[in-house]
A and B are shown apart, each in its own frame.
Chain A
Amino acid sequence: MPKVNFIAADGSTTCCSAQVGDTVMQTAMAHGIDDIVAECGGSMMCATCHCYVDEAWQAKTGPRVDGEDDLLECASSEVRPASRLSCQIRLTPELDGLVVHLPASQQ
């Protein structure tokens, strides 16, 4: 069972057990991580599940998917090279220990 570490804008960390095949967004929802809103539920329509993938993990999470850039343009917090929509990062055993940073606001 992979673990995902969510680091909030204030620095507090929550470590969550996830299911392989779930997305980072679904993991956040299952554990009540309020800094991920995920209004559209994963249809890549809303940009409210924005996260920054920790530098050490960027190679493993891979590049943004087709269409993700368009949505990130609409994110309410600053978009950086590390920005991803957490609904588009699917967990594999290799992502055990993944660290993502959360923006201060999603809407």
Chain B
Amino acid sequence: MIETTGLIEGHRRISPPKGVPSWDMDPYDEAVLRSPHAYYRELRRLGDVVYLPKYSVFAVGRYEVTRTVFSDHQHFVSSRGVGLDDFKIAKPWREPSIILEADPPEHTRTRKVMARALSPRSVKNLENLFLQVAEALVDEVIAKGAIDGVAELAELFPTRVFPLAVGMKDANTRYLVDYGAMVFNAGGPDNALRRRGMQLAGEIVPWITTACTRERLEDEGLGAMIYQAADADDISVKEAAMLVRSFLSAGVDTTVTGIGNALWCFAQFPDQWEKLKADHSLLRPAFEEVLRLTSPVHTFARTAGCDTEIAGMPVEEGSKVLCVLGSANLDPDKWADPDRFDIERRPVGHMAFGAGIHGCVGQNLARGELQALLSVMLQKIDRIELAGEAVWRPNNGIHALDRLPLRIIPK
């Protein structure tokens, strides 16, 4: 652990106010990351806000308070980092994102450019591409019969469609997946997961930086749309490259995880797959329920930008607050029978894409990818069955599978 006087894990050590429960545990322990449900339950039981002395941070995991803190960009800023490092004090491991790790008014400008490129209409234009890639991939997995749902399906779909959608001339599946994992691991403490990620940075970051330049992008695609905003002087060319980098940071590993988690849900709960087969209009709500139940991004932090409060408890400026989205999405005070996968639930307001001005700007793309893949699976596949133990892969920010042995039974 990095600890200098008054500092812990790149942020200032705080003294918790009286009345805030303190809980001596490590939310970034690999066993907890693999199987977080007991942690979530205890976090919610302890109170609206809990102090974790291990990293000297607050944590929130009840639905209402998590949503409130996460949406309150005025008091809880993103520009000081959305992990444990406080960018005001610690040097960020990479140049900070100009959308994820930014506040208004800078954020407002960059967000608008990204939101246009990733609008529902823009994603609709990609539908045929997604369906085409899904058709070929689903035929491949049917031919194999038995697959690892992670390596042979969940990772392949986004890494095939995403470079085409963005218009990348360079595509390296491994680098794209590992870069996302590295970005999310970097939000945690200086543990083995983060260190392993950082070791890869020297090799992957230069590749990513080059891949985001205009020369390495096609004249059409989401990347070109961002550079057109630079042509129109809405952003600078340097900012355009940074926003394209945001596609690569946030758009691959997250959708890989969303797909893997969806396969896990349907393999685990075959009655829900049958329900979906009988009524394809449930496809989009079903994906929302996958997201609620499995929260691909389990935690993001915020930093108190001023002296403020959470649920009536004073919070001093510079305090880091872990917003445990995975816990909020399973809060029984918000969701009836929260551990049940129910594709008819329509869980509007789930926290898997965040909330407020920093709500996931790529969520339409994620939904479009899932819709294409699942609709082709519904056409061609009768059912998927677990063919072994599903293994979760610990990551400081992402709740993803490492292995998912599946049997694919075609129609």
Q: Tell me the A residues contacting B by CB distance below 8 Å.
A: 26, 29, 38-47, 66-67, 70-71, 73-74, 107
Contact = CB atoms under 8 A, between A and B. Distances in A.
A10 B284 CA distance: 24
Contact of B284 (A39, A43, A73): A39
Interface residue tally of chain B, by bracket?
20 to 34
Interface of B: 108, 112, 115-116, 119-121, 124, 284, 288, 348-350, 353-356, 359-361, 363-364, 367
A70 B116 contact: yes
A26 B67 CA distance: 14
A38 B310 CA distance: 28
Given A46-B364, A47-B120, A41 B349 contact: yes
26 contacts: A26-B349, A29-B349, A38-B348, A39-B288, A40-B353, A40-B363, A40-B364, A41-B350, A42-B349, A42-B355, A42-B359, A43-B354, A43-B355, A43-B356, A45-B115, A45-B359, A45-B361, A45-B363, A66-B108, A70-B112, A70-B115, A70-B116, A71-B119, A73-B121, A74-B120, A74-B124
A39 B119 contact: no
A71 B367 CA distance: 16
A74 B353 contact: no
Contacts of A39: 284, 288, 348, 367
Contacts of B112: 67, 70
Judged by DSSP, the binding face of A is: loop
A70 B116 CA distance: 7
Nearest to B118: A45
A65 to B, nearest CB: 12
Contact of A46 (B116, B355, B356, B363): B363
Nearest to B120: A74
A42 B357 CA distance: 10
A41 B353 contact: yes
User: Which interface residue of B116, B119, B354, B367 has the most chain A CB atoms within 10 A?
Assistant: B119
A17 B356 CA distance: 24
B348 A74 contact: no
User: Which interface residue of B120, B359, B363 has the most chain A CB atoms within 10 A?
Assistant: B120
A83 B206 CA distance: 46
Contact of B355 (A38, A41, A67): A41
A62 B288 CA distance: 31
A107 B121 CA distance: 11
A47 B120 CA distance: 8
A74 B117 CA distance: 12
Given A29-B348, A41-B348, A70-B112, 14 more contacts: A38-B348, A39-B284, A41-B350, A43-B354, A43-B355, A44-B115, A45-B363, A45-B364, A46-B363, A46-B364, A67-B115, A70-B115, A71-B119, A74-B119
A46 B348 contact: no
B347 to A, nearest CB: 9
A93 to B, nearest CB: 22
Contacts of B364: 40, 45-46
B284 A107 contact: yes
Contacts of A66: 108
B356 to A, nearest CB: 7
A43 B367 CA distance: 15
Contacts of B360: 43, 45
A83 B376 CA distance: 34
A67 B359 CA distance: 14
Nearest to A43: B359
A32 B344 CA distance: 13
Contacts of B116: 70
Contacts of B354: 43
Contacts of A44: 115
A87 to B, nearest CB: 10
Contacts of B115: 44-45, 67, 70
Contacts of B288: 39
Contacts of B124: 74
Nearest to B356: A43
A71 to B, nearest CB: 7
A49 to B, nearest CB: 9
The 10 nearest A-B residue pairs measured at CB: A43-B359, A74-B120, A74-B121, A41-B349, A29-B348, A38-B348, A74-B119, A41-B348, A45-B363, A47-B120
